[in-house]
Amino acid sequence: MSLPEKLHAPDLHAKAAALNAAYRHHSAIAVLARALHDPDVGQLALVSSFGAESVVLLHMVALARRGTPVIFLETGMLFTETLVYQQELAERLGLRDMRIIRPDAADLNARDPAAKLNQTDPDACCALRKSVPLSRALSGFDGWITGRKRYQGATRATLEFFEVEEGANRLKVNPLAHWQRGDARTYIEENRLPRHPLVAQGYPSIGCMPCTSPVAPGEDERAGRWNGQDKTECGIHFLDGKMIRQGESV
């Protein structure tokens, strides 16, 4: 029986609060290992973009529980470098359960046949190519692991290790929530992990090719995402058939 079946929303919030209290001063790897092995947490998947800092959590998962399902959203608009990096990194880390998720072909043909929706309605494009496929991929899981961090913006400033995904009645685990700027780079260097090739070309945050641009020295690391638009996150989700905005990235 999965966690959403065992616990109603109030109980799930209580569980998240208890987990946060117990692990408030623990390291990222300790939080992740606990989440992956605690039967009360349930079955988790790591959602990874295989972007600039994704190797950190992928490496931690490979150490803590190599068979953890890893969900990779192949939107059809990713950089070639990202696709090559995903294949090479998954093989190097020995990830045993890679799940490459793509948008529904019929949905693409109906709503974005010319692949230009990102130019007129980027929110709808993110929903079509990311959030809806992710929701389908997470069906049956009790929660999922993200790489979000508090310093990445106002919408993440109070981020906790464990939280409840409203509407889905499942947990979200954020092992890197308390990391500071530069911690990921230090981890990558100390563990001699390969970086995404676009990082060296000025891309500290990497998403779909049409909506990602290089960042100038001194700019915020996410300044190259949807540059020039009133948009900072790709977290469009569906609840009761209606599209809602959430302050998060997939």
Q: Which residues are catalytic?
A: 234
CA distance 142 to 234: 22
Structure token pair of residue 87: 């294949």
Geometric angle at alpha carbon 139, from 95 and 102, rounded to 5°: 60
Pairing verdict, β 98-101 and 70-73: parallel
Backbone angles phi, psi at 83, to 5 degrees: -65, -40
Return the number of other C-beta atoms located less than 10 Å from residue 111's C-beta.
16
* Encoded amino acid at 25, one letter: H
Q: Does residue 16 contact residue 162 with C-beta atoms inside 8 Å?
A: yes
Query: Measured between alpha carbons, how far is 54 from 147 in angstroms, rounded to an integer?
Result: 7
28/57 Cα distance (integer angstroms) = 9
Helix (H, G, I), strand (E, B) or coil at 180: coil
Contact between residue 89 and residue 58 where contact means Cβ atoms under 8 Å apart: yes
> Nearest 10 degrees: CA dihedral of 217, 50, 174, 225?
40
